[in-house]
Structures are given as C-alpha cells and as structure tokens.
A = this chain, B = another copy of it.
Amino acid sequence: MTLYATILAGGSGTRFWPQSRATRPKQFLVLQGKRSLLQATADRIAPLCPPERTVVVTADALCATTRAQLPQLPPENVLGEPQGRNTAAAVGLAALHLLARDAAAIMAVFPADHVIADAAALCQSVQQAAAVAQQHGLLMTLGVAPTYAATGYGYIEVGPLLATPGVPRAHRVTRFVEKPDAETAARLLASGRYLWNSGIFVWQAATIAEALATHLPKLWQGLQAYVAAARQGESAAELAARYRQLPSLSIDQGVLERSARVGVVPVRFGWSDVGSWRALGELYPPDAEGNVVVGQHVGHDSSGLIVYSPDRLVATIGVRDLIVVHAGDVVLVCPKDRDQEVRQLVEALRARGAQEYL
C-alpha cells in the first residue's frame, strides 16, 4: 500500500482577521517559529509521505502562494479550484488526481490550518488508520478524546472494535453528531462514547470514489466532467462555470454521515483546530505575567492577554483579558470573550467597501 497525503488548503475564513485576509487565509498564519500552519502540516506528515506524494487542494487564487510556501512539492501537486465548493468537492478532486496516478492509492486527508503538538503520534495514528482502511475497506476518521463539552466541534459515536493486526484500537463509527448545543455537548462528553471529529481522514482513493459516486453522484459526475474538460483545454471561464455548479457539501455531511462503512482511530496528539484568536490562549502556556504572546510584547501591569504580533511590537499598560492582534497594516483590540464578533466587524468593513482590509 502506498500512502498519499492530501492537504485541504482552500480556507478563506474571517475568524482570524486581520491576520487572515482574502489573499492570506488562516493556513498561512504563523503561530510558532517561522512556519505557517500549512507548512507545519506538510512538515508533520513528511515522514509518511514524501513531497512527490503530497497533494494540496487550494483556491486558484492561492496556488502561487501555496507553491511558494511549499517549494519542495512538484508544482503539479498543488491543485487549484476555481472557487471553493466545500470539502466534498476538494476531496473528490484530489481522489481523481490520485486515482489517475495510482489505482491502489491510500489517501490521508489533512486540514491545512490545524495545530498538532505530537507529529510522531499523528503519523502513527495515520498509519494505523491506513491499515484498517486497507483491510476493511472503510472510510477512517481520526477521533480526538474530548476534554470539555465543546460546541464548536463535530462528535463521532464510537461503535464496536475493529480487529486489525498491529492496530491496538480502532472502532466502527455508529453515528456523527454535528456541532451540538451546550446541553447536548455535555451529555455526549459524559457518556464517554464520543470523540471529536478531527477532520483528518484516511481511506483508499477507490473507496472514497465509490462513496462519492454513491452518495453524491451529481458532484462526482460533475468533477469527472470538470477534470476531462480541463485536460481538453477548456477555458478558465468555462471551467469556473462548471465548478460553480458543483454541489457544495462537506465531506462529513455529504459522505461520512450517510455511509455505513466508517471507522475511527482514537488519537491523542494534542490537537486544536485553532478556531479563533481565543483558541491561541489555550494552545500556548502563558508567560510570567499571564499573557499568551505570539510575537513581541512589552506589558506594564497587563495580564490575561492574547497578543499576536509576529513582526512588530505590541505595548500595553493596565489592560486585562484582551486580544490584541497586529497583523499587516491592521490592529485589532477585542476582549477575549468577544472574539466571535470579529466576523461582524469584517462584515461591517465589507459593507463600507473597505476591500483593502479584507
């Protein structure tokens, strides 16, 4: 079996504004050292998949930046989408690419914008999931043991054990639960039978192709037609029009929740989807003053801050529990418990036509 990595790097979220912008989405965020989340994702899986077997799906508009960030990848391994049509389309596009190269490909799918502390543990879990996927023909997920009643993650109900040589623990999945409300989340956590859906998946390319053809036939046929048209040199405008007509669903909703052939490997590798600025505060230990700092900060009687300012200095006097972000040419100041409102601010900027800041 030959493992191929597929990195989904088409994100264009606003929750990390002003660091993330239309042309510099979250996967290009640098949280530690000098490596972006995208680069760190590729670094982590490099021991499993050399650059030739690592494929990135991103927006056409981000292909150049993506190739520049990952110069070790053959340029043709960076697949551009004319526009984002959610993860089912991105996974399908990568599956078609891999099947054309290797009909027996095993495909491991990674979001480009998560943080994982223990790369060795990740690689081991991916290898185990690959073994299960190979032996049982299942769509495998990696499930994170929940540590609190999160409402921001999807949950996976763990079913019967799957016996696979060399894999100490893998299970069938009984069902998926979309991001629950607080009460439901507390119940799922208390039951001990649920894991968080990490968004990392492992399967044979042929298995996911079959599942797409079964559960999302319109998408799958559309993708095949798109790839054929691209090969025949159809114009960019025509290709974009085709892609725009593909159904927009997540791979979770479109396939995993509908399939009876899903498994999960429980993992423990220090995972975060870094969903917002506040999540930074949970990723890193605070400094002596109780501030979590990415970049440079000098504080006077300041504590409980999350400071993100990789290139420049943020100075604070007498403030508490704020998020202060200095990214590019924009500064954001916001209490820690209100970072969800960043989206509204971005909407307000859009409404006033302040394109240069979006």
Residues of B within 8 A of A316 (CB): 332-334
One of A121-129, A152-160, A342-350 contacting the partner: A342-350
Q: Does the CB pair A333–B333 fall under 8 Å? A: yes
Known A-B contacts A312-B329, A313-B329; A319 and B298 likewise in contact (beta carbons under 8 Å): no
Residues of B within 8 A of A352 (CB): 298
State the number of copies, please.
2
Q: Does the CB pair A298–B348 fall under 8 Å? A: yes
* Minimum CB distance partner of A344 in chain B: B300
* A162: min CB distance to chain B, Å: 46
User: Hey, what's the 0/1 contact readout for A310-344 against B, CB within 8 Å counting as 1?
Assistant: 01111111110010101001111111001101101
Q: Which of B301, B326, B338, B354 meets A298, CB within 8 Å?
A: B354
- With A300-B344, A317-B339 already in contact, 12 other A-B pairs whose C-beta atoms are closer than 8 Å: A18-B315, A298-B352, A301-B341, A312-B329, A316-B334, A317-B342, A317-B345, A318-B334, A318-B341, A319-B333, A319-B334, A331-B331
Question: Which residues of chain A in 82-120 are interfacial with respect to chain B, using CB atoms and an 8 Å cutoff?
Answer: none
User: Hey, what's the 0/1 contact readout for A120-146 against B, CB within 8 Å counting as 1?
Assistant: 000000000000000000000000000
A27 beta carbon closer than 8 Å to chain B = no
Considering the chains assembled together, what is the distance between the CA atoms of A312 and B332 in angstroms? 11
A357 beta carbon closer than 8 Å to chain B = yes
We find that the number of chain A residues with CB closer than 8 angstroms to chain B is 35
* Minimum CB distance partner of A333 in chain B: B316
Question: Which residues of chain A in 282-328 are interfacial with respect to chain B, using CB atoms and an 8 Å cutoff?
Answer: 298, 300-301, 309, 311-319, 322, 324, 326
Ranked 8 nearest A-B pairs via Cβ: A317-B334, A312-B329, A318-B338, A313-B330, A314-B331, A315-B332, A316-B333, A326-B331
Considering the chains assembled together, what is the distance between the CA atoms of A231 and B338 in angstroms? 65
Residues of B within 8 A of A298 (CB): 345, 348-349, 352, 354
Residues of B within 8 A of A331 (CB): 309, 312-315, 324, 326, 331
Known A-B contacts A313-B357, A330-B313, A354-B298; A319 and B318 likewise in contact (beta carbons under 8 Å): no
Q: Which of B311, B312, B318, B329 meets A335, CB within 8 Å?
A: B318
**30 A-B pairs whose Cβ atoms sit less than 8 Å apart in the complex:** A298-B348, A298-B354, A300-B341, A300-B345, A300-B348, A301-B341, A311-B329, A312-B330, A312-B331, A314-B333, A315-B330, A315-B345, A315-B349, A316-B332, A316-B333, A316-B334, A317-B334, A317-B335, A317-B338, A317-B341, A317-B342, A317-B345, A318-B335, A318-B338, A318-B341, A319-B322, A319-B333, A324-B331, A326-B326, A326-B331
Residues of B within 8 A of A330 (CB): 312-315
